[in-house]
């Protein structure tokens, strides 16, 4: 009888603890984040945005309930993220999940609001069938609405959601100007960049006037890949902008290559001389790198012609970055015809390299002829970590400090004519957008843009680490099972021994 009462008390105690835990979990949200990039921890930027909301925000997640297993995790992660948003905002972020597949009217409403269905392949009973799913959301603040058509698995959800809320909550967006008129790419040729920047900024083309100052009022100015000579009067306008404390992004093509004539030449626009006066020298030479992209070459074999991918060291794949908000999360930026950047200024200015070539690199002075059939060896790459871009800070002729971000490949984020379309990588876009964000945004959202699942291909790991991970993946589950069996056997042995003692009831 005494043992039965003790057992009942034990059960009641457990039930009470569970009830208390549920009550506390409803009031307080706690989650341990052991990921490398703190993927599941809200940033200070997001917390500031949420705590400064004056009006409630409604998030409607249009998610199909019965999702395939490989993307069902996206729904769970997004729901947990919304729970945190609700708690941090003290209830000002209200959310609900809606399954559009339950009713045709609900599905039509989702589509009308900008959430489009996707068709995915689902394996069921050894057969593959297609299923229509929804993975989008809408954010509403007053009479304003922002749609996110698709929450991509592994993408930085926090940046996407926080940026949308920030966009709705700000009354006036700061302006970003892209200089035109000297052969620079049109905004249509950097459409991906413009699309991402438009979330928080007003992006506009800027024509520099010889006599009227037109650069005032822009949060930041970008000058990308000018091809024509820039008049001294226009460079003087840039000087005035910097003197007033303006921030400038410059992507310069100091050299250019022609795949048709296989010739590489130097390019002169006057910008290189203007930069040199600021202490930034961009050499008229091509950086070559053992870590490089490929080009397609036509090969002849008898009567047959076929295409072959061959490494082309003049297209360096940059994987060495300075630890900086601009480069955080970047893994590979592909540059086409980059040049070395040197800082030759004095101690009144501060220069920080952001991008460097690999440990096997070199440079070749223009003009030159490209030999696509060349068999490159280690002797062709005698240099290491050549600076390809950086940021200059200091007072540039005025009383207010200014900043210049310089990248020695003006078209690294351009998808227009003359670029190898296969070489335009997501990190190329992120580098330019991150740079503009860094110069323009004071909220800290830049840190979230590349916050997602980090790509760690197994074939890029060292052989020793690769073998260790494989063995750990195979042996750890077996070891846990064995340990569990030993512990359980010992517990049973102790129980039998206890039962055999005199006076046990």
Q: Is 116 helix (H, G, I), strand (E, B) or coil?
A: coil
Burial class (CB in 10 A: 0-12, 13-18, 19+), 41: middle
- Comparing 197 with 448, which gets the higher pLDDT? 197
Q: Is the pLDDT of residue 392 over 80?
A: yes
E-only strand ranges, 149-200: 175-180
pLDDT at 376: 93
Q: Of 86-100, 290-304, 319-333, 378-392, which range is least confident? A: 290-304
pLDDT at 469: 66
Q: Is the pLDDT of residue 266 over 90?
A: yes
- Comparing 306 with 288, which gets the higher pLDDT? 288
pLDDT at 30: 52
pLDDT at 14: 73
Q: Of 168-172, 293-297, 299-303, which range is least confident? A: 299-303
Among residues 137, 19, 22, the alpha carbon closest in space to that of 78 is found at 137
Spatial separation of the C-alpha atoms in residues 322 and 356, rounded to whole Å: 8
Spatial separation of the C-alpha atoms in residues 471 and 469, rounded to whole Å: 5
- Comparing 501 with 466, which gets the higher pLDDT? 501
Residue 402, token pair as written in the block: 């200014």
**pLDDT exceeding 70 applies to what percent of the chain?**
82
The number of C-alpha atoms within 13 Å of 250 and in the hemisphere containing its C-beta is 29
Q: For the domain 175-455, what is the CATH code? A: 3.40.50.880
pLDDT at 447: 63
pLDDT at 39: 55
What pLDDT band is residue 416 in, cutting at 50, 70 and 90? low
* β-bridge mates for residue 264, sequence order: 257, 368
Q: Is the pLDDT of residue 398 over 50?
A: yes
Q: Is the pLDDT of residue 318 over 80?
A: yes
387-395 and 280-282 beta bridge pairing: unpaired
pLDDT at 475: 77
pLDDT in tens, 458-493: 454 556 666 776 677 767 777 888 887 788 788 878
DSSP 423: G
Is-same-fold flag (21-168; 175-455)?
no
E strand or H helix at 195: helix 191-197
- Taking CA 403 as the corner, what is the angle to CA 401 and CA 404, rounded to the nearest 5 degrees? 150
* β-bridge mates for residue 95, sequence order: 59
- Comparing 23 with 248, which gets the higher pLDDT? 248
Q: Where are the domains of the chain?
A: 21-168, 175-455, 463-498
What pLDDT band is residue 328 in, cutting at 50, 70 and 90? confident
Stretch 444-470: mean pLDDT: 59
Among residues 317, 314, 325, the alpha carbon closest in space to that of 352 is found at 325
pLDDT at 452: 52
pLDDT at 34: 45
pTM assigned to the model: 0.72
Q: Of 19-23, 105-109, 132-136, 281-285, which range is least confident? A: 19-23
Stretch 282-295: mean pLDDT: 95
- Taking CA 199 as the corner, what is the angle to CA 193 and CA 205, rounded to the nearest 5 degrees? 55
Q: How far is it between the farthest Cα atoms of the chain?
A: 106
Among residues 82, 92, 62, the alpha carbon closest in space to that of 160 is found at 82
Architecture of the domain spanning 21-168: 3-Layer(aba) Sandwich (3.40)
């Amino acid at each position: 009888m005494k043992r039965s009462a003790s057992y009942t008390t034990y059960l009641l105690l457990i039930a009470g603890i569970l009830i208390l835990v549920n009550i506390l979990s409803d009031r307080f949200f706690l989650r341990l984040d052991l990921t490398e990039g703190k993927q599941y921890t809200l940033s200070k930027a997001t917390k500031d945005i949420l705590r400064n909301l004056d009006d409630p925000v409604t998030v409607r997640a249009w998610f199909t309930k019965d999702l395939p297993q490989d993307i069902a995790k996206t729904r769970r992660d997004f729901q947990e993220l919304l729970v945190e948003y609700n708690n941090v905002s003290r209830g000002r972020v209200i959310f609900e999940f809606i399954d559009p597949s339950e009713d045709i009217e609900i599905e039509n409403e989702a589509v009308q609001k900008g959430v489009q269905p996707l068709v995915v392949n689902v394996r069921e009973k050894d057969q593959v069938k297609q299923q229509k799913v929804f993975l989008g959301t809408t954010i509403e603040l007053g009479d304003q609405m922002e749609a996110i058509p698709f929450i991509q698995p592994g993408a930085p959800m926090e940046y996407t959601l926080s940026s949308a809320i920030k966009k709705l909550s700000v009354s006036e967006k700061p302006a970003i100007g892209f200089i035109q008129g000297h052969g620079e790419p049109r905004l249509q040729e950097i459409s991906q960049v413009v699309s991402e920047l438009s979330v928080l900024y007003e992006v506009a083309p800027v024509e520099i006037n010889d006599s009227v100052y037109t650069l005032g009022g822009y949060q930041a100015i970008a000058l990308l890949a000018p091809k024509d000579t820039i008049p001294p009067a226009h460079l003087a306008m840039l000087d005035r902008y910097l003197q007033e404390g303006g921030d400038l992004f410059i992507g310069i093509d100091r050299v250019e290559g022609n795949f048709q004539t296989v010739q590489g030449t130097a390019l002169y626009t006057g910008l290189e001389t203007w930069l040199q006066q600021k202490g930034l020298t961009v050499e008229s030479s091509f950086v070559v790198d053992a870590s490089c992209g490929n080009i397609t070459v036509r090969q002849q074999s008898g009567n047959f012609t076929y295409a072959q991918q061959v490494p082309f060291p003049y297209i360096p794949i940059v994987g060495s970055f300075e630890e900086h908000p601009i480069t955080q999360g970047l893994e590979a930026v592909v540059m086409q015809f980059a040049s070395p950047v040197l800082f030759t200024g004095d101690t009144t200015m501060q220069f920080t390299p952001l991008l460097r070539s690999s440990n096997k690199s070199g440079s070749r002075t223009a003009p030159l002829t490209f030999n696509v059939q060349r068999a490159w060896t280690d002797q062709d790459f005698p240099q290491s970590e050549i600076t390809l871009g950086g940021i200059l800070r200091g007072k540039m002729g005025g009383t207010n400090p200014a900043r210049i971000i310089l990248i020695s490949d003006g078209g690294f984020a351009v998808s227009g004519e003359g670029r190898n379309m296969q070489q335009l990588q997501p990190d190329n876009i992120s580098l330019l957008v991150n740079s503009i964000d860094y110069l323009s945004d004071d909220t800290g959202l830049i840190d979230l843009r590349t916050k997602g699942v980090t790509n760690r291909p197994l074939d890029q790991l060292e052989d020793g680490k690769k073998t260790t991970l494989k063995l750990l993946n195979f042996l750890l589950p077996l070891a846990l099972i064995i340990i569990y069996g030993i512990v359980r056997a010992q517990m049973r042995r102790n129980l039998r021994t206890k039962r055999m003692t005199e006076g046990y009831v």
